[in-house]
Structure 1
């Protein structure tokens, strides 16, 4: 059986998102069913990675130590249900810095591929924003959209064909739990 990998955005996919940024473990609140979904996927043999823009660091809103504490909480919650997140890649830069790791650029996904020694071709990348989906397309991965976080707004822009069909045929699911059900049922295929 081929190796199965799944890459997740964080804010709006795994946890609640906020225009004021998630700045501490106390503000980091998992979305209903997301932790269970990650654990189920892990049990089903998926290697799980997270790729997340975290410009709040570059903006001085929270520290690397705060971010590490949030990610420790995420990993502990998943581990408590027998699951595992193998890797978390993050971009600490502000958009104006134009760094190659900030989604919609592909740097975070390329870092995951290097560190996990995987080919990103057709790997599901689950996000709630256009930047997640574009980054996935840039590396030949398979973008998936969830309706949590910014998902509804993203879907509306796709439906208006604002993006020249780049995101045509993107699977759309209600939330990460629905993504897990579909991937497990279809053995990793859309």
Structure 2
């Protein structure tokens, strides 16, 4: 099974400053996300979101707010014909030094335990931050960086089609 591991905030939907998240209830899908995810789905990729949500552990939002936002995001994507196969998130405050916060491999290890048939040689990671890039390097998958200074730089998920021969 080939997976597109996806960061959430700043990759699929708009990201905000930590304190702004207290009032955000509706996902704002970033331009190119729907088209890009459809493109990847048509190429046989399954989707797993890997997201740091330290704003839970740092008391900006509650777990319920996080789950409600995710439910709305999943519903929007499903209405567009896109299936998110799973979501792994780290709710811990940054100061906790847990094993799951990106760029550590904890969430990927959880995904591999749950889905042992993931083919890491055919999987990719798409994200918008240095910790996403570092995680992709740590697990040995090709990385595509949204507005990030890296080898495979893209402005949005749909631009991944520039790298069609590598997918």
Deviation at 1:114? Answer: 1.9
Which residue does the alignment assign to 2:141?
Answer: 141
Deviation at 1:25? Answer: 5.3
Say if 2:26 and 2:72, in contact at 8 Å, map to a contact too: no
Say if 2:21 and 2:60, in contact at 8 Å, map to a contact too: no
Q: Which has the higher contact order (CA 8 A, sep 6+)?
A: 2
Using a 3 Å threshold, how does the CA distance of structure 1 residues 53 and 15 change in structure 2: closer, same or farther?
A: same
Deviation at 1:128? Answer: 0.8
Which residue does the alignment assign to 1:129?
Answer: 129
TM superposition score normalised by structure 1: 0.79
Give distance in 1, aligned partners of 2:75 and 2:61: 21
Which residue does the alignment assign to 2:76?
Answer: 77
Aligned-residue Cα RMSD (Å) equals 1.9
Say if 1:113 and 1:119, in contact at 8 Å, map to a contact too: no
Deviation at 1:177? Answer: 1.4
Q: How does 1:112-123 map to 2 (within 5 A)?
A: 112-117=111-116, 118-121=118-121, 123=123
Aligned length: 165
Which runs of at least 4 in structure 1 moved beyond 4 Å after TM superposition?
none
Query: Could you say what secondary structure the match of 2:21 adopts?
Result: coil
Consecutive unaligned residues of structure 2, counting only runs of 5 or more, are none
Consecutive unaligned residues of structure 1, counting only runs of 5 or more, are 159-169
Using a 3 Å threshold, how does the CA distance of structure 1 residues 81 and 28 change in structure 2: closer, same or farther?
A: closer
